[in-house]
Amino acid sequence: MIRPAGIDIGSSSIKLIELQQKKGKLELLKCAVNTISGEDVKTSLKDLLAISKLSSKRVNVSLSGPSVIVRYIEMPPMKKEELRSAIKFEGGKYIPFGINEAILDCAILDKSHSGNANRVLLVAAKKDRVNSYIDILKEMGMDITSIDVDTVAILNAFQRLGMETKQESVYAMINIGARFSNMNIATGGYPYFTRDILWGGIDVTNRIKELLGLTPDEAEMLKRNPGERKLEISGIITPALEKFTSEIRMSFDYFESQFGKNVDKLYISGGTAYLFNMLDFLKESLEVEVILWNPFEGIKILDESVDKELINSPGKFAAAMGLALRK
């Protein structure tokens, strides 16, 4: 059975995953990525679909960035239909743009700590952005089966692939992108905290560019392949990485103060997770176990179908994998 493809539309690139389920096992059929030129999502998406040659027209799509809001809130116990009506009024407290500009969705997760309320996942996205992606994909003949957000898609991949099944485990997941990073903290199979951190690979690139007087392309190349200049580049980018770890630490401290639990592990994914000194820097700064998560683990990769160069950095496909795994 071929599953709907997962398409993750990020700030600098679009990632795509297509899976099939055969005899109870998952197989990777398609894996592709394309850079967004300027803000021309339409052309980049069109080119990506042409390159990938999907087996099915069905797709699951994710949104990210400042036009998307994810919050965990508490609401009195009520039926799903009542919750959807109530959330239209309650949601305005958490959304930085007008409620009439937004598309809202929600899901009941579990009981709150007090037991007198339900913890609810609230997701809001700007209507114009959602509609623009729908129009683009429909124009290309795609059948959109669901629209998700990166944060939720990554958590879905993590759970569907059987990661961290222990009820007592408290873990964080950070998808480190080009312009911003998504964080989830979860325990007992449920997410408890999420936030977007306005920090990404561009912060490291800009630091190199400014201090060495390079062009953006030259700085990006040196960031990815420092070669014999690792020690020099490490010193240059340390302030940028310190800013990132400070934001993570503040989030951990907030979670611990609210829920009385410490984060045991941190899983990182996303393109910037592969920065040459990222893993060691996070381990030393945060003093927790840090794991570079591979969302392809346990999935059979069909030799004739997948470009191996693309899966040398599997973590950048975490959101696309979550979308492709969506039920």
Q: pLDDT per residue over 82-111, tens digit each? A: 888 888 887 788 888 888 888 888 888 876
By C-alpha distance, which of 94, 102, 142 is closest to 120?
A: 94
Q: What does the pLDDT average to over 287-313?
A: 83
Q: Give yes or no for a contact between 253 and 172, defined as CB atoms under 8 angstroms apart.
A: no
Give the pair of three-digit tokens for residue 206: 């800009």
Pairwise CA distance, residues 13 & 10, whole Å: 5
| Helices and strands (DSSP H and E) totals, the chain | 9, 14
| pLDDT at position 112 | 66
Per-residue model confidence as pLDDT tens digits over 127-169: 998 999 899 999 999 999 999 998 889 988 888 887 766 667 8
Minimum mean pLDDT range among 10-14, 238-242, 267-271: 10-14
Give the DSSP H/E element, type plus range, for residue 84.
Answer: helix 80-90
> Percent of the chain, pLDDT > 90?
56
How do residues 191-229 score in pLDDT, each as one tens digit?
889 998 999 999 999 999 999 999 999 999 999 999 999
* Cβ atoms 59, 136 nearer than 8 A: no
Contact 123/68 with Cβ under 8 angstroms?
A: yes
Relative to beta strand 289-292, strand 265-269 is parallel
CB atoms within 10 A of CB 312: 8
Q: Does residue 161 or residue 172 have the better pLDDT?
A: 172
Structure tokens at 299: 């999935």
Domain boundaries, the chain: 164-292
Q: What is the pLDDT of residue 40?
A: 86
Both tokens assigned to 237: 């980018």
- In the three-class reduction of DSSP (H, G, I as helix; E, B as strand; rest coil), residue 29 is classed as strand
pLDDT bin (cut points 50, 70, 90) of residue 309 is low
* Rounded CA separation 153/59 (Å): 13
At 72, is the secondary structure helix, strand, or coil?
A: strand
- Rounded Cα–Cα distance for residues 179 and 272 (Å): 10
What per-residue confidence (pLDDT) applies to 238? 97
The confidence score (pLDDT) of residue 288 equals: 95
79-88 b/e (C-beta count within 10 Å ≥ 16 → b):
eeeebeeebe
Average pLDDT over all residues of the chain = 89
Statement: 164-292 belongs to CATH 3.30.43.10? no
Kindly state the average pLDDT of the residues 290-303: 87
| Contact assessment for residue 244 and residue 258, using Cβ atoms and an 8 Å cutoff | no
250 — phi, psi (to 5°)?
A: -60, -40
pLDDT over 80 (residue 189): no
Q: Could you tell me the pTM of the whole model?
A: 0.89
Cα of first residue to Cα of last residue in the chain, in angstroms, is 13
CB count within 10 Å of CB 49 equals: 22
